[in-house]
Amino acid sequence: MKTKYILFAALSVIGLAGCDDDFLNRPPKDTLVDANFYKNNDQVLSATAGLYSAVWKDYIDKANFKLGDFRGGTVFRAWGDRDHVLFNTTAVSPENSEAYRAFFVIIGQSNIAIQNISKYAGTGVSEQIKNHAIAEARFMRATAYSHLVANYGPVPIIENNLEHLNNPALKRNTVESVWEFITRDYEFAAANLMETPAQTGRVTRWSAEGMLARTYLTRAGLGAGPNSRNQEFLDKAKMYAESVIKNSGKKLLSNYADLFTYPYDNNEESLFELQWVFTTDYAYANTMVSQITYSNDIANGDGWGGDISATWWMLSQYDGLIVNNGATPGFTLDERLKATFMLPGFKYPEITQTVRDANGVATEQELVFPRVSDATDNNYVSVKKYVVGKAKDVDNQAATQRYPNNTYMLRLAEMYLIYAEAALGNSPSTSDALALQYFNAVHERAGLPPHTGALTWDDIFKERTKEFAMESMAWYDLVRLHYYNPDKAYEIINNQDRGLMVVRPNRWPDPTAWTFTKTSWFADRFAVANSGNFLLPLPASEVSQAPSLNDEPVPYEFKD
């Protein structure tokens, strides 16, 4: 690994913030810390504040959706980022390096927080707050490692940054070791985090138990075959998911669109969010919004996602939308579509749109997603999720590359669907009453009639795809599948149409259905995933610094 990333984490602690209810309202300052700092509860909590935002920046800005959704097949880019869309990500692809760097910065910062709090916390710090803050850091470290191992496979486990400075012999640890390390961190977090947030937006015991549910569901397939996932781990996934559902006090929002309509931060369904604020400091604002918003007509001097679109495959997941291969006008009852993607004629009164008449005179109206002329053979089903509009739409809390809305990392809806998949386990289907109840809680919230009959893996995967599209989840769901059924993972990816299309409303200005036609001249509609390109290659810059990363991975020697 590049030693400068570890050195950065070893020398600076990002996160000395004010400790009012919104603990990131005053952006933290980079600073050296010493033994005189950790003298009271507020100072100790300040030491972990930056782990909720700035250290994640290089991943969240672009890499999270380019890896999580481009590779996952829910969205594509027509003219850029084709390496990620077509599974040709290389050792020099920028987002590959940005993601890897961000994850190890998170790990390095977490390690420093753990070590400093353990060593320097004074008598004015309560034991509860001390353990809670260490648990926050271990939670974040585990989350970074879960992303690393899912994307790269074996990676180095680092608990002490200084031991690895200028170490060209750094070795990777086995996938099994990394997942065990992750599990231990989350278990510590679950045992030591408070049951209610120490401050608004902080993780809790239920955040950690939710991550344990996700982790055990993933680990159940590691080293298994298609019908032989680890039953003990499936049971633990089910146990933790049910604990969060029943004990956290969280509940599903009644309206799915409210999850992404500003201000939604830290709502009743959220279990873990990255905390962004509107500020002149680039590091603490949400810049991803600039990357995915389709036009400056609804933005603030940015809006660079004009050729980002839902894939044909993604749209086909919404029942009733693509009929007769798109030739017959179709529609869907699924309310998640409008909250996630924009079809021509969709209206969003919460977002202001600049429009121009034939003379170029600009006026403003509520957003009506535009149609294209009859002569045009392609357009885009642009991203709505996380797009919040102009400054006036968010209480003037936005500017170019400065947005205030948080990034979801874990929602209660996932607990319902994890329970259902864990209950399904190794069976082809399940009629488990509680699994069906939890599945339908998510399904019916989207405006759909209840699912009747047995549940299959395909039912649950389809539901997860629609529920979490553009939340960087699809790729990680495929990684989990790949652990125990790689052929099915390749089959899904290789059959996802990721090409241009044209979408036309059946009438204007108030369409009730749409036709879909694939753009005939557009090549490279399909990715080709296989064992050789499924995982990301280690960034070339890292291997050049530590060639030993090419060596066979070794088991990690746990200290206890």
C-alpha 468/C-alpha 531 separation (Å) is 26
C-alpha 452/C-alpha 405 separation (Å) is 37
pLDDT digits (tens, 9 = 90+) for 355-368: 999 999 999 999 99
Q: Is 322 helix (H, G, I), strand (E, B) or coil?
A: coil
User: 386: Cβ–Cβ under 8 A, 6 or more apart, which residues?
Assistant: 260, 286, 288, 289, 292, 405, 407, 470
Strand stretches in 113-177, DSSP E: none
> Helices marked H in 405-539 — which ranges?
412-424, 433-445, 457-468, 474-484, 486-494
- Going from N- to C-terminal start, the domains of the chain cover 283-402
C-alpha 447/C-alpha 511 separation (Å) is 19
Give the pLDDT confidence score for residue 164 in this predicted structure. Answer: 76
- CA-nearest of 335, 343, 346, 337 to 253 is 335
- Alpha-carbon dihedral 401, 406, 409, 411, rounded to 10 degrees: -150
Query: Facing residues of 22 across strands?
Result: 200
* CB of 66 closer than 8 Å to CB of 72: no
Token reading at 369: 């997603």
C-alpha 65/C-alpha 404 separation (Å) is 18
Give the pLDDT confidence score for residue 432 in this predicted structure. Answer: 98
Q: pLDDT tens track of the chain, all 560 residues? A: 443 444 444 444 433 333 333 544 433 333 435 567 899 999 999 999 999 999 999 999 999 999 999 999 999 999 999 999 999 999 999 999 999 999 999 999 999 999 999 999 999 999 999 999 999 999 999 999 999 999 999 999 999 988 876 677 889 999 999 999 999 999 999 999 999 999 999 999 999 999 999 999 999 999 999 999 999 999 999 999 999 999 999 999 999 999 999 999 999 999 999 999 999 889 999 999 999 999 999 999 999 999 999 999 999 999 999 999 999 999 999 999 999 999 999 999 999 999 999 999 999 999 999 999 999 999 999 999 999 999 999 999 999 999 999 999 999 999 999 999 999 999 999 999 999 999 999 999 999 999 999 999 999 999 999 999 999 999 999 999 999 999 999 999 999 999 999 999 999 999 999 999 999 999 999 999 999 999 999 999 999 988 999 999 999 999 87
The pTM for the full model equals 0.95
**With 0-12 CB in 10 A as exposed, 13-18 as middle and 19+ as buried, what is 414?**
buried
Q: What share of the chain is helix, strand, coil (3-state, %, to 5)?
A: 45, 10, 45
C-alpha 142/C-alpha 137 separation (Å) is 9
C-alpha 409/C-alpha 91 separation (Å) is 26
C-alpha 234/C-alpha 428 separation (Å) is 15
pLDDT digits (tens, 9 = 90+) for 125-138: 999 999 999 999 99
User: 557: Cβ–Cβ under 8 A, 6 or more apart, which residues?
Assistant: none
Give the pLDDT confidence score for residue 162 in this predicted structure. Answer: 83
Residue type for position 412? L
**Count of residues in the chain:** 560
Give the pLDDT confidence score for residue 6 in this predicted structure. Answer: 43
> Helices marked H in 312-432 — which ranges?
312-316, 336-340, 412-424
Strands 347-356 and 13-14: unpaired
C-alpha 293/C-alpha 303 separation (Å) is 4
User: 318: Cβ–Cβ under 8 A, 6 or more apart, which residues?
Assistant: 332, 334, 336, 337, 466
C-alpha 170/C-alpha 163 separation (Å) is 10
**With 0-12 CB in 10 A as exposed, 13-18 as middle and 19+ as buried, what is 493?**
buried
C-alpha 246/C-alpha 201 separation (Å) is 20
Give the pLDDT confidence score for residue 11 in this predicted structure. Answer: 41
- Angle at which helix 94-120 crosses helix 3-11, to 10 degrees, equals 40
What is the H or E stretch that residue 342 is in?
A: strand 341-342
Strand stretches in 68-173, DSSP E: 75-77
- CA-nearest of 217, 184, 205 to 247 is 205
Give the pLDDT confidence score for residue 34 in this predicted structure. Answer: 57
In angstroms, what is the C-alpha Rg of the chain?
A: 23
DSSP letter for 318, please: S
Q: Count Cβ atoms below 10 Å from residue 9 Cβ, excluding itself.
A: 23
